[in-house]
């Protein structure tokens, strides 16, 4: 798991007048919306004596700890320590980590890391959102599994034939093979591929109006950072579905996935339910597979699985992870779990680059250059 990327913490709808405690990369955060309407994300552990801010109250634009009422603003700075009385001077060290937040497409993203703004990887863009001729739906899923396994499932062209009867023939087509994969190098944050495959008619009913013949279909998919995926399915040359998945690794074996589906066909709002139903159907087929994969996390070396050419973008994804390992962004999850009862860690926020003294320890990181996948680290 990595710091210095954007993670989806909640939907906009979920942020009411109460704070939300959200777990990501094995740590807890509080997400809340102040009176000014802006969403905020802070480390959940109160630096007084460890209260859970997510169980506190929103007071104006601040979050108030449930234990002794200390109030922290959106920058994480403590503004009030009630036990000291109304005119108390608040020490500079009375501060929790606060993370940059962006609210886009109905989702609240937090940048969990300390990079200055200019160096932060972008969030995978939903370019079609709000464009004429496109409509969106959004849904989200809990699953038991490791998020890297889930991203790799998205990058795998060979599972469609067997896992999804909506896309493939369940092994009934003797002539089946994975066709040429045309690699797309988008930017330094991710790669993907396009390919053509044979697909059946869509199931009977409303869906079949979108595609009522058996034949070739174009699809592309790729990753962005460790936890974001784009999947473009052109069910006919005119009818396109562009999906964006934002994964929140809750911990090593739990994920929460937010899925935005953009479509340029069946634009009537009444068709939303149909799209959601179909996405649920396909997602649960994937979830059934991912939850049973062993080992739960991707192996620490590629020699412990037997890769074929259709796995090449998965190998590329693991190479990217190694690049981020080489930057020293990988959280030492084993140490985090080992220490979890005795140390409350925090992901370092950008303010730690300016202010040196913090109450909580910064999360342990795997030293830069130590590869966990067995591919030599570069960068």
The footprint of ligand FES (CB under 6 A) covers 46, 48-51, 65, 67-70
286 binds, among ligand FES, Fe ion, none (CB under 5 to 8 A by kind): Fe ion
- Token pair belonging to 303: 């020699």
Q: Report in angstroms how near the CB of residue 163 gets to Fe ion at its nearest.
A: 5
- 135: which residues sit within 8 A by CB, 6+ positions away? 262, 263, 267, 269, 272
Q: Report in angstroms how near the CB of residue 69 gets to ligand FES at its nearest.
A: 6
Q: Report in angstroms how near the CB of residue 278 gets to ligand FES at its nearest.
A: 46
Residue 51 vs 200, nearer CB to ligand FES: 51
Residue 286 vs 311, nearer CB to Fe ion: 286
108 binds, among ligand FES, Fe ion, none (CB under 5 to 8 A by kind): none
Residue 96 vs 255, nearer CB to ligand FES: 96
Residue with tokens 């700890």: 65
- Asked whether 54 and 28 are in contact (CB, 8 A), the reply is yes
Hey, CA dihedral for 84, 90, 92, 98, is it positive or negative? Answer: positive
Q: Report in angstroms how near the CB of residue 358 gets to ligand FES at its nearest.
A: 16
Pairwise CA distance, residues 6 & 213, whole Å? 40
Q: Report in angstroms how near the CB of residue 149 gets to Fe ion at its nearest.
A: 12
- 368: which residues sit within 8 A by CB, 6+ positions away? 325, 326, 327, 328
1 binds, among ligand FES, Fe ion, none (CB under 5 to 8 A by kind): none
70 binds, among Fe ion, ligand FES, none (CB under 5 to 8 A by kind): ligand FES
Residue with tokens 């589906």: 261
Report how far Cα 220 is from the mean position of its chain's Cα atoms: 19
186 binds, among Fe ion, ligand FES, none (CB under 5 to 8 A by kind): none
200 binds, among ligand FES, Fe ion, none (CB under 5 to 8 A by kind): none
Q: Report in angstroms how near the CB of residue 369 gets to ligand FES at its nearest.
A: 38
**Residue nearest to Fe ion as judged by C-beta position:** 286
Residue 69 vs 106, nearer CB to ligand FES: 69
Residue 84 vs 307, nearer CB to ligand FES: 84
- Asked whether 345 and 351 are in contact (CB, 8 A), the reply is no
CA end-to-end span of the chain: 18
Residue 56 vs 222, nearer CB to ligand FES: 56
Report how far Cα 352 is from the mean position of its chain's Cα atoms: 24
Q: Report in angstroms how near the CB of residue 46 gets to ligand FES at its nearest.
A: 3
- 373: which residues sit within 8 A by CB, 6+ positions away? 298, 299, 300, 301, 302, 318, 321, 322, 325
Cis check for the bond before 70: say yes or no (omega within 30 of 0).
no
What residue ranges bind Fe ion (CB under 5 A)? 286
251 binds, among ligand FES, Fe ion, none (CB under 5 to 8 A by kind): none
- Token pair belonging to 156: 């795998």
- Asked whether 166 and 282 are in contact (CB, 8 A), the reply is yes
Residue 69 vs 364, nearer CB to ligand FES: 69
Measured at the CA of 281, the angle between CA 276 and CA 287, to 5 degrees, comes to: 115
Q: Report in angstroms how near the CB of residue 64 gets to ligand FES at its nearest.
A: 8
Pairwise CA distance, residues 105 & 165, whole Å? 30
Residue 294 vs 341, nearer CB to ligand FES: 341
């Amino acid at each position: 798991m990595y710091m210095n990327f954007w993670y989806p913490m909640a939907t906009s709808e979920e942020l009411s007048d109460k704070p939300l405690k959200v777990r990501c990369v094995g740590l807890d955060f509080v997400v809340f919306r102040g009176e000014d309407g802006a969403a905020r994300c802070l480390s959940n552990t109160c630096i007084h004596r460890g209260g859970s801010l997510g169980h506190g109250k929103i007071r104006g634009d601040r979050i108030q700890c449930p234990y002794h009422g200390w109030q922290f603003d959106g920058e994480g700075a403590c503004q009030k320590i009630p036990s000291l009385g109304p005119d108390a001077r608040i020490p500079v060290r009375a501060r929790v980590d606060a993370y940059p937040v962006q609210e886009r497409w109905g989702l609240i993203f937090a940048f969990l890391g300390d990079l200055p703004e200019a160096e932060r990887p972008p969030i995978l863009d939903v370019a079609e959102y709000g464009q004429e001729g496109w409509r969106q739906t959004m849904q989200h899923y809990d699953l038991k599994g490791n998020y890297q396994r889930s991203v790799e499932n998205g990058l795998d062209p060979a599972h469609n034939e067997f896992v999804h009867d909506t896309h493939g023939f369940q092994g009934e087509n003797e002539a089946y093979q994975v066709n040429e994969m045309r690699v797309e190098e988008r930017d330094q944050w991710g790669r993907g591929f396009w390919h053509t495959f044979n697909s059946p008619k869509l199931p009977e009913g409303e869906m079949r109006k979108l595609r009522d013949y058996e034949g070739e279909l174009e699809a592309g998919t790729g990753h962005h950072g460790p936890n974001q995926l784009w999947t473009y399915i052109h069910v006919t040359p005119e009818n396109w579905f562009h999906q964006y998945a934002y994964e929140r690794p809750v911990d090593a074996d739990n994920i929460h996935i937010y899925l935005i589906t953009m479509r340029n066909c069946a634009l009537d709002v009444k068709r939303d339910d149909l799209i959601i139903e179909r996405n649920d159907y396909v997602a649960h087929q994937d979830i059934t597979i991912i939850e049973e994969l062993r080992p739960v996390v991707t192996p620490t070396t590629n020699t412990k699985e037997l890769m074929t050419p259709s796995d090449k973008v998965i190998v590329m994804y693991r190479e990217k992870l190694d690049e981020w390992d080489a930057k020293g962004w990988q959280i030492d999850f084993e140490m985090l779990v080992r220490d979890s009862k005795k140390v409350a860690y925090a992901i370092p926020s950008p303010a730690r680059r300016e202010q040196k003294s913090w109450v909580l320890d910064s999360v342990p990181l795997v030293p830069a250059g130590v590869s966990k996948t067995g591919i030599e680290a570069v960068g």
